[in-house]
Amino acid sequence: MTSQRTPEVAVDLGLSLRGVVKTFGALRAVDGLDLDVRSGTCLGLLGANGAGKSTTMRLLTAQAIADEGEIEVLGLPVPAQSKQARAQMGVVPQQDNLDIELTVRQNLEVFARLYRVPRAGRGEAVGRALEVAQLTGRADTKVDDLSGGMRRRLLIARALVHRPRLVLLDEPTVGLDPQVRQELWALVDALRSEGVTVLMSTHYIEEAERLADDVAIMHAGRVIARGTPTALVAEHVGSRVLEVYGPPARLLEVEQVGRATGLPTRRTGPAVAVLRAETSDVVADLLPDAVARPANLEDVFVLLTGEKVE
């Protein structure tokens, strides 16, 4: 009897990294990184400063060249065909590099020409980018006169003016107040709804939970965990946490309770959290001063990396 193999289903990848290494002297900023992003999805790269997120972004745009490994962006090898790949991607840098002497519209027109948007459709492309970023009313305002939130929206609009298939967002809301951050979240949500592939680096837990289909937690240049926010929480920390605030001696006692009951703990500043508390019938009785709460992605991050994301 001849056995039949189930045919493998090809996965359409927006980008792929295999065994990628990037060093700066003795520092391995990216250390054997494997990473895939399916087309039409948003992957959040979650990590503290120095985890390797921004270096990964620079490798994808060939602003930095890998020492080892293979990179493909939209099916194109990078850096060999980085020019062709860049033509199909939009990049929102962490640092504001807008031309402050030009107006909002002029900044977009410059990039529309650079990305070779046909002259006949250039006005429509700029108009659409203004609308998406909610900057139509500010089209003729000089960039130097915009608020910080408006400038971030313009950076995103500039990255979208040529209708890219892939968008890289490097810490898109860093330094912004919560209200402006939520406005930009809505903009990124709109990209996902249009089927654009998005890779977003962030160190904001809530941002990763809110926007990403999948989250990849980076630490020391590697991805150490990957999955949906819900799946990561369920796998690593369970559903219920008991949290105790107190002086160092009390926190040490709480950690001892965790060890005695076989439950993981994490310490953050003046508190210790006992994870997977739903699996023990006695731990709540042993910690009468504990506050119960649902487990979250921050618990996962701190447990796996030992770092707190600020």
Contacts of 237 (CB under 8 A, 6+ apart): 264, 275, 276, 295, 299, 300, 303
Tell me what the mean pLDDT of segment 50-58 comes to. Answer: 94
pLDDT at 7: 44
Position 263 in a domain: yes
Q: Would you list the DSSP string of 99-144?
A: -TTSBHHHHHHHHHHHTT--HHHHHHHHHHHHHHTT-GGGTTSBGG
Position 54 in a domain: no
Position 162 in a domain: no
Q: For position 263, which CATH number holds?
A: 3.30.70
pLDDT at 181: 82
In angstroms, rounded to a whole number, what is the distance separating the alpha carbons of residues 218 and 150?
A: 29
pLDDT class of 119 with cuts at 50, 70, 90: very high
Position 135 in a domain: no
Position 277 in a domain: yes
Q: β-pairing, 222-227 with 214-219?
A: antiparallel
pLDDT, tens digit (0-9, with 9 covering 90-100), for 235-271: 999 999 999 999 999 999 999 999 999 999 999 889 9
Tell me what the mean pLDDT of segment 52-80 comes to. Answer: 96
In this structure, the number of other CB atoms found within 10 A of the CB of residue 255 comes to 16
Q: Report how many domains make up the chain.
A: 1
Q: Which domain holds residue 269?
A: 238-294
In angstroms, rounded to a whole number, what is the distance separating the alpha carbons of residues 2 and 127?
A: 61
pLDDT class of 22 with cuts at 50, 70, 90: very high
Position 255 in a domain: yes
